[in-house]
Structure 1
Amino acid sequence: MSEDLVGLPFGGQDSVPDYDAPRPRGRRQSKHRRPPGRHRNLITALVVVSVLVVLGGGLVYAGSLVNTLIHGADYDGGGTGQVTIQIAQGQTLRQVGDTLVAKGVVKSTRAFTNAAEADTRSTSLQPGTYQLKSHMSAALALALLLDPSSRVQLTFTVTPGMTAKQAFASVAKTTRITVDQLTAAANNASAIGLPDWAKGKVEGFLYPDTYTLQPKDDATAALKMMITQSLKKMNGNGFITKAQAMGKNPYDALIVASLVVGEGIPSDYGKIARVFYNRLNPAAGTNGLLQSDATTIYSREIRGVPRNAELTTAELKDANDPYSTYAHKGLPPTPIGNPDLDALNAAVNPTPGTWIFFVKIDKAGHSGFATTNAEHERNKQLARQNGVL
C-alpha cells in the first residue's frame, strides 16, 4: 500500500477507493452505507409518532373517564335473563338506583339517576315488585320500571260481604298462594293475629280492601294483613267499645255487621241493623227468630251448594242447618261474610226505630221497613210488582 494513503480517513475527499484493488482481510466494506443523519431522522419520526399515539390514547381515556364521572358507568343494550326488583314506598331515585346496582341490573347509580332526572315520568314511579333483566342500560331499566306490564301482580281484592271462602279464591287467583295453604294457615289463630274474642274464626275479619303482597309473603302473611286492617278499622271507629256500651260482645256485633252486608245496600244498613236487634228483643214478639235468607245462603256457600239455586221453604227452615235463622233462635254461629266500615258502623250505631220487618222492594236493592205484619205485606206486594219477589 502506498505510504501516501496511510492516515487518511476512509471516504475522505482526497481518497477514493479503488474497487478493483484487493481489499484488506478482516474488514468488510458496504457498498451502500447510509449517511448517519438519515438514521437519526427516522428514529425521531418514530418517536414523534409514538408520542402522538400515546397522547391520543390518553386523551380518549381521559375523555371516557370524564364521561363516566359525569354520566356514570352504563351497560349497553337491553340485558339478559330475569331479575326481580322490589321498590319500597318512599324510596328515593338514588336508593332505587342502589338497589338496581346491587341486583346487577344497571352498572352505576349515577347512570340511573341521570336517566331518571331526564325523564319527567320518573316522578310517577310506583312501589312494587318488577321483572327486569341483568346488565341493562339505565334508560331501558327506567323504561321497564315505568311500564305497568313489568310489574309483578301480587295484588288481590276482598269486596264487602265476600265470604272467607271467596276471599281465599281471590287471593289464589292473583298470587302463588293456594286455597289449601290459606285454609291451613287460618287454623293458627295466634300466627295470623286473630283477637281472643274471634273464637278462632277468620270469617268476618278479612277486611274488604285491595292488598299488595311481596313475593316472599305466604298464606299466613296474607291473612295477617287482612286481619290487621280489620282490627285497625274496628279500633278506629270505636267498634269494640261501642258494642260493649250497647251491652253486646264484639263478636255478636260483628255477626250483625255481616248480616247487614248480606241483606241490603249501604243506605239501608242502619235500619237493617235495627231490625235484627229488635227481633232479638223478647218484647218484639218474634220469638227471637231473625228469619234471614242470607244466613241459609251462607250455609250453602260453606257446604258447596251453588248460590244461585232457588231457596225453598224446607231449606230455610231446616233444623239440621245451624245457620237457619228460621229454625234456630238468635244469631248464627259465626259472621256470614266480611263487613266493611259502613256495616261495622251500622252494627254499633243502628238507626232508631221500631221496625221488625224488611224486604227488598226494587231492583236497586232498597228495602221497605215495617213495624206491623200488615205494613210488611204491603211492602211485599210492592216487591212483587217490581219483580224482585
Structure 2
Amino acid sequence: MYEGFNACPDLEKYSGEPVYHTKVVEQITGIRANTLRIWERRYHFLTPKRAENDYRLYSERDVVLLRWLKERIDNGMSISEAINFFERLDKVRKQHPPKQVDAASPLHSPHIFTVASRQAFTLPRGLEQQLRAQQDEFPEQEVSAPEPLPFPRETLPQLPEEILLLAQERLLTAFRNLDDTEAHMVLTPLLITYPVEQVCADLITPTLWKIGELWENHKITVTVEHFASNFFRGLLTNLFYMAPRPMHVPLVMISCAPGEAHELAALMLALVLRLQNVRVAYLGQSIESEGLIGSIQQLCPALVCVSLTIPSHLPNLLSLAQQIQKLPSPRPRFIFGGQAFLEYPNIAQDIPGVYIHGNMKEVVKQIQTLYTQQGIA
C-alpha cells in the first residue's frame, strides 16, 4: 500500500473510500489521535468523513499521505515543512508526469572526477613528449583497477526526474540572482529527505556541468559561475566536516594535483567516501608535493587520490606519482583521475598509479576495493 520512503506518493492511485477508524490509523502510522486532530484543524490537508456513530473515518489515500509525512518528520522536517514539501512535489508531478530517462541524459552522465566544463582542452606543444620522456626514466607502473566490491548502499533511491529538473531550474535562477538563501532553500529539504551522496550524484554534479555549459555558451557570466562554484564549495565543505569521522581505520588522502585549482570533484569525492565510513583527509587545491610526501611518510595512508582537470599540470602529477612510487614499502597506492584524461586517456598509462574514471558510484566502488586490499595488506 506504500510507494516507498523517498517517492512522492501519487494519491490518485489509492482508494478515497473512508474505511479506517482513528485507532487503526494511529496503529498504522504511529501518529497519535490528538496529533491528527490538531493537524487537521491547523493545516486543513485531511478531511475525514464521519460514520453514523460520528467516529472519524480515513481512506487509504489519507493513510498513505500520513505515513509519508511521518517519515519526513522523523528525518527532521516540521509538519508544516513536510506538508509544503509534499504540495510542491505533487504539483510538479502533476505538471510533469514521470517519464523514462535516457541513461545518457546530461542529468545522469557526469563523472565525479570531472565536474568542470566539458570544453575540450589542447595539450601545450611538446607536453605529451615531455611526459613520455619523464616516464622513460621510471618504467614501473600500474594502470588498471581491480574488480570493485559491491557499493554498500546499492538501494540508494533515485531522485525523481521531475524533482531534479525543478530543483536545477531553481538553483540556476538563484545563482543568476546571486541568491544563496534561495539556493539553500532548494537544497535543504532534499538533503534532509535523500542521502547526501545521492543529492551529490543526481543534482549537484549535473548542475555543475550545466553551469559549465552555460558559461561556455556565454549564457551566464564568470561572476555567476564563480558564485555558484563558491556556494557548492562552502556547502560540500560544511557537509564534509559535519560527517562522522571514522577512527582506527586506514587513512585516505585526497587532493588536487600540484597547480590544479579546480577542487569540487575532489571535495565531493572526499565527502562521499567519508559518508561511506572511510577515514579521509581532504587536502584541497594545488597540493605541494614536498609537504605531501612528508605527510605520507609520517602518517602512512593506505591511498592517495589526486584529481586533475587542466592538462598543463600533467607533468606535476607525473612527478608526484613518481616520488610516491619511490617511497619505501609500505607505501600508499596512488590513485588519479579527472577531466584532463577524458580528452587524452592514453596519457594515463604513462603515470605510475591506478587511473579511475566514471560516475560517483563507479569511482567509489573502485576506491573501496583498493582501500580494502591496501588495509588488509
Greater gyration radius: 1
Say which structure, 1 or 2, has more relative contact order (CA 8 Å, 6+ apart): 2
Give the alignment's TM-score, normalised by structure 1: 0.23
